[in-house]
Amino acid sequence: MPSSVTPPGVPERPGPRRAPPPDYFSRRVQFKIFLLVCVFMLVVVMMEKARDPSMYAWMGFDRVGEATRTPDSTPSPSENRVPVQREPSTGEIPGLVQGPRRPETPWQRPAERPMDRLGQAETLAWNHVWTALRRADRDTLNRWLERAQTGGTLDRTSGKAMIAQLAKHWSSFLKQQGQLLTQQREQLNDEGHKEWTGILDQLQTLWSETYEPALELAASDVSLSPPQHQTLQNVQDRIAEFAITKIRDNTLHRAVEQEAWFHLLDILQRTPEPLLQERSTGNASYLQLFQQPGEYRAKLVTVRGSARMISRFPAPRNQYGIDHYYRITLKPMGGPDNPILIYALGLPGQFPVPREPEIHVNVREEIECAGYFFKRLVFRSRDGLRTAPLVLAKLPRWYPSPVTRSVSRPNPIWVSVGVVACLATAISLAWLAYKRTQRVASSHQRSANQTLSLSIADDDLVTAPLETLHELAQADRDTRSIENPPRH
């Protein structure tokens, strides 16, 4: 059975010696600790910088993590992909007569039409007049009515020609409706036929006694009375309503919508901005404008958010003095990541504006706009065609950041060189600390081995235990003999 006790006379072999604990008061250990703390702080600073999205702006990413975002399997309520929808027919537009269909008559009133039969017939009459006019004549009539409302006058010869043209189309409508009333005599009883014949007579009286005198006075230097001002205002409102009925959602910019487009822009440029803010219906969210375009059509709304892109476009030829406008891509406040497109007549001072030959400029500025909601416009994005609410505004209200941000971006080459240099420095410091630690451990191991070999080599010079015991016994006997000498 093996024994753990070393037999007598056999030298005991020492085990491996452990390295002594580090001396934290020595300069060498303090220097290594300082290097480790520096490396740790460098890693913390790099992690903090990696969280800043602006560090990746030079790579072309607008939002960090957009590429790794997993799409939602169910479409959100604000899905703005272009849906497949049929073109609405003229029957869905109250009072609008287009195409080869038979002209609509006042007595063929659908259930959703108003009960005021004279007002309905008057609306159809102005719709007929407006449709029969050429585009240039409609613009001239609209500008003439605006100048008459503000105290301006029109050339008398041009005014007489315009009034004669309006009277011609008004009489054409009455004649057309009289023929249809005669042809469809069997659909009405005697009382109904008599009632609608009287309505057509009232329309003729309305033109000759109300509209025509007010238009003739507007073409002269005579001042208008308040009722005549109201008459011209009613005509102007009806023309605007007819133009707005041409607007279609989920479409591109259409030529037929230019009349309503420039009519609203002209109102904006003639109205002071504070008054627009005062008359606004209030703040409108993205979902409200996107899901209820018909409810907000041609109404003043207020939108606020972060402007992400400014584009400058020339305006089509028009007689309102508008030669260009700016398109602002707005990320609405508190809404989804879908934009609202704002077409503004101007921008605030010191606001980033595209310079020639640039057309677009990327920005991140907080703005607020009060303008007319126009329609849900189709635009092209990176993943196909999408739709966005379109608002016409005069001048956005800018809320600049109190901290001035530099528009210049760091050179990507120098950024890459700095990152590589930091990594190389951290690796070098770690490698240097590791090598110093290994060198100290090796020196301790060599000193321990040298001490062990020296003690084994000199083991034969040490006195054996048995001899030591004999020497001690002999010394004890000598001591006793001295203390107790023999007696004779």
Assess whether pLDDT exceeds 80 at residue 447. no
- Going by C-alpha positions, the residue among 387, 364, 368 that lies closest to residue 377 is 387
- pTM score above 0.75: no
DSSP state of 482: H
The predicted structure's pLDDT at residue 122: 87
- The C-alpha atoms of residue 482 and residue 273 are separated, in whole angstroms, by 131
Instruction: State the Rg of the chain over Cα.
Output: 48
pLDDT tens for each residue of 360-398: 889 999 999 999 999 999 988 888 889 999 999 999 999
Strands 300-314 and 340-344: unpaired
Q: For residue 482, what pLDDT band results from cuts at 50, 70 and 90?
A: low
pLDDT in tens, 174-205: 998 888 888 877 777 777 778 888 888 999 99
- pLDDT value at position 243? 86
pLDDT tens digits, residue range 280-322?
A: 999 999 999 999 999 999 999 999 999 999 999 999 888 888 9
Q: For the chain, list the domains and their CATH numbers.
A: 117-244 (no CATH), 270-399 (2.40.50)
Per-residue model confidence (pLDDT) at position 276: 92
**Plot region of 233 (φ>0 → left; ψ -120 to 50 → alpha; else → beta):** alpha
SS (H, E, C) 365-423: EEEEEEEEEEEEEEEEECCEEEEEEEEEECCCEEECCCCCCCCCCCCHHHHHHHHHHHH
- Taking only the tens place, the pLDDT of each residue in 228-284 is 888 888 888 888 888 888 899 999 999 889 889 998 998 899 899 999 999 999 999
Name the nearest CA neighbour of 220 among 143, 154, 161: 154
Q: Give the sign of the dihedral formed by CA 343, CA 348, CA 351, CA 354.
A: positive
Strand partners for 361: 310
What average pLDDT is seen over the chain? 76
Q: What tens digit of pLDDT does each residue of 392-433 get?
A: 999 999 998 775 554 556 666 777 777 778 878 878 877 777
Helices (H), 184-302: 190-206, 212-218, 226-244, 258-270, 273-279, 286-291, 293-296
The alpha carbon of 309 is separated from its chain's Cα centroid by a whole number of angstroms, namely: 9
Helix (H), strand (E) counts: the chain: 13, 6
Confidence category of residue 156, pLDDT binned at 50, 70, 90:
low
| Number of neighbours of residue 417 by Cβ within 10 angstroms | 11
DSSP state at residue 251: B
The whole-number pLDDT of residue 444 equals: 55
**Helix 226-244 crosses helix 117-132 at what angle (to 10 degrees)?**
70
Tokens of 310: 């400014």
Mean local confidence (pLDDT), 348-354: 86
